[in-house]
Amino acid sequence: MKTISIDIETYSSVDLAKSGVYRYTESPDFVILLFGYSVDGGEVQVVDLLCGEAIPPEVVAALTDEDVTKWAFNAQFERICLSRWLGMSTGQYLDPQSWCCSMVWSAYMGLPLSLEGAGTVLGLEKQKLTVGKDLIRYFSKPCNPTAANGGRAHNLPVHAPEKWLAFKEYNRRDVEAEMAIQRKLMKFPVPQNIWMQYHLDQEINDRGVALDMQHVRCAIDADKRSRSELTRLMRDLTELENPNSVAQMKQWLSDNGLETDTLGKKAVAEMLKTAPKQLSEVLSLRQQLAKSSIKKYQVMENAVCTDGRARGMFQFYGANRTGRFSGRLIQLQNLPQNHMDDLHQARSLLKSGNFEALAILYDSVPEVLSELIRTAFVPKPGSRFIVADFAAIEARVIAWLAGEKWRLEVFASGGDIYCASASQMFRMPVEKNGINGHLRQKGKIAELALGYGGSVGALKAMGASLLWILYYLLFNFMYSENDDAPNFRFLASIDAQIVFPSSSVI
């Protein structure tokens, strides 16, 4: 046996989407229902574990044999589930070195990150069966106990024999579809260095990161109390039945002379600049209630394993056009920054449950909770975190790949690339916190939005105004090496503060 392709169907009362596979397998009722496999590309076999069938001993042995390559689509799921099935404890998982993932292969080729999507694009003869979602909902997830179903919380084969046969066929077809993808992509192998990165990614996900769960639970409690108080204040000010309702709030603002199509964060921030006092108070409360980053605490509680560590935080090749890692669950790549001078004091007050002191000492409890998110992550005893970041890594790599010597010289001399870019764009000196310093942000927007092939849509998504984009396009169209060109003089004379209103700054 050299290779084995695997697909499994499972059951757990833990919500996989909210908690991730590591926590999912820790549920006491976790069980593998079906085990579909093919050895060395042979006929697919389906083992009905729930009905008493057994996986052949040689196949079980292959799971831990480093010389046998295990294939699966989203192999992390199979590997972690089978680790639990083999009796491994939390923190101990099958070595990823002998596992390969056909989803990673699909992503490397720019294909969708779903078995169904990849099969459709590749035009497979045997594609994933579309009835799978209903079957998974029926057998793999808890059901609501009712008088009609005898009060059961889990559907078994005996409750729907025909559906169970269809579920087994669905499991068989998934293995066939996965192998078909491999055959289609055989001429375009994944380089070994990519597999090495994938295995490193799996080790990182298996290790996870420790959480201070006392901190997390205190934050969740403080958020509930804060939201209750903020909602009460909004109800007193607006006399609305449900001040959290977008429709009711928009109507209330309209009745009070402020029309708006949206209550998004950016829109509320803009309205706060000019709103009268009464409306400003309501909008400020609305802004605090909309602090979505606080939800990360709830995700932490959902995802944490029994040893206090959260795992499965990254998706390798999640961005299938660039190969960039994507965040999952807590989203470690997108954590709010903290700038509080008294961060330690605020954290101590939170962990002691002193909500009253937090409310008195700080203008916004939600803002404090947001800034304390990073402090929920803790190193294991005897260790410490070492925080590092690449400086303008995107700009440096792009400049090197494009052979833009003037940009490489900026880095070599210790200059600020965003200032240098803005200076080239506007043909005027730009210094950080100095002359024309407000234009630096425009250089940064262009740098990050356009560096990887973005266009007008990318600029808008990163906060550029339509007037900004018009100027940018006109400038690049009319630019001449002759600085005395009339069009250039006209464009350069436009006041940047007017062309680029402060609202366009991220």
Tell me the CATH number at 97: 3.30.420
Query: 431 burial class (0-12, 13-18, 19+ CB within 10 angstroms)?
Result: middle
Is there a contact between 407 and 395 (Cβ–Cβ < 8 Å)?
yes
E strand segments, 93-191: 99-101
Which of residues 360, 386, 412 is at a domain's end?
386
**For the segment 456-484, what is each residue's pLDDT rounded down to a tens digit?**
777 776 666 665 666 555 555 554 444 44
pLDDT at 497: 35
pLDDT at 465: 63
pLDDT at 475: 55
User: Rounded to two decimals, what is the model's pTM?
Assistant: 0.82
Is there a contact between 70 and 201 (Cβ–Cβ < 8 Å)?
no
Mark whether 216 and 275 lie in a shared domain. Answer: yes
pLDDT at 504: 33
pLDDT at 183: 94
Beta-carbon count within 10 A of 413 CB: 8
pLDDT at 486: 37
Structure tokens at 165: 């046969």
Mark whether 322 and 376 lie in a shared domain. Answer: yes
Strand partners, 211: 377
Chain centroid offset of residue 211 CA = 18
Is there a contact between 40 and 78 (Cβ–Cβ < 8 Å)?
no
Which of residues 334, 365, 386 is at a domain's end?
386
Q: Domain range spanning residue 194?
A: 3-207
How many distinct structural domains can be found in the chain? 3
pLDDT at 471: 59
Instruction: Sort residue 146 into left (φ over 0), alpha (ψ -120 to 50) or beta.
Output: beta
E strand segments, 291-445: 309-310, 314-319, 324-327, 377-378
Average pLDDT over every residue of 424-452: 84
pLDDT at 494: 35
Mark whether 82 and 61 lie in a shared domain. Answer: yes
Average pLDDT over every residue of 163-179: 96
Structure tokens at 398: 């792009």
How far is Cα 206 from Cα 93, in angstroms, rounded to an integer?
Answer: 7
Least confident of 48-57, 68-77, 127-136, 302-311: 127-136
Residue bearing tokens 């600049």: 273
Report phi then psi at 198, rounded to 5. -60, -45
pLDDT at 429: 92
**For the segment 183-192, what is each residue's pLDDT rounded down to a tens digit?**
999 999 999 9
Non-local (6+) Cβ contacts of 100 within 8 A are 69, 70, 71, 75, 195, 198
Mark whether 28 and 129 lie in a shared domain. Answer: yes
Non-local (6+) Cβ contacts of 471 within 8 A are 491, 494, 499, 500
Mark whether 22 and 56 lie in a shared domain. Answer: yes
The answer to whether residue 269 scores a pLDDT higher than 90 is no
User: Is the model more confident about 454 or about 463?
Assistant: 454
Mark whether 277 and 256 lie in a shared domain. Answer: yes
pLDDT at 439: 86
Mark whether 117 and 227 lie in a shared domain. Answer: no
Mark whether 29 and 98 lie in a shared domain. Answer: yes
Q: What is the total residue count of the chain?
A: 506
Calculate what percentage of the chain has a pLDDT beyond 70. 90
Mark whether 130 and 181 lie in a shared domain. Answer: yes
Mark whether 177 and 212 lie in a shared domain. Answer: no
Helix axes 393-402, 440-450, angle to 10 degrees: 60
Structure tokens at 204: 């990182």
Report phi then psi at 32, rounded to 5. -90, 125
State the average pLDDT for the chain: 88
pLDDT at 476: 54
Least confident of 395-404, 428-437, 445-454: 445-454
The model's confidence at residue 129, banded by pLDDT at 50, 70 and 90, is: confident
Which of residues 320, 355, 386 is at a domain's end?
386
The model's confidence at residue 330, banded by pLDDT at 50, 70 and 90, is: very high
pLDDT at 23: 98
Mark whether 266 and 177 lie in a shared domain. Answer: no
The end-to-end CA distance of the chain, in Å, is 56
Mark whether 179 and 114 lie in a shared domain. Answer: yes
The answer to whether residue 305 scores a pLDDT higher than 80 is yes
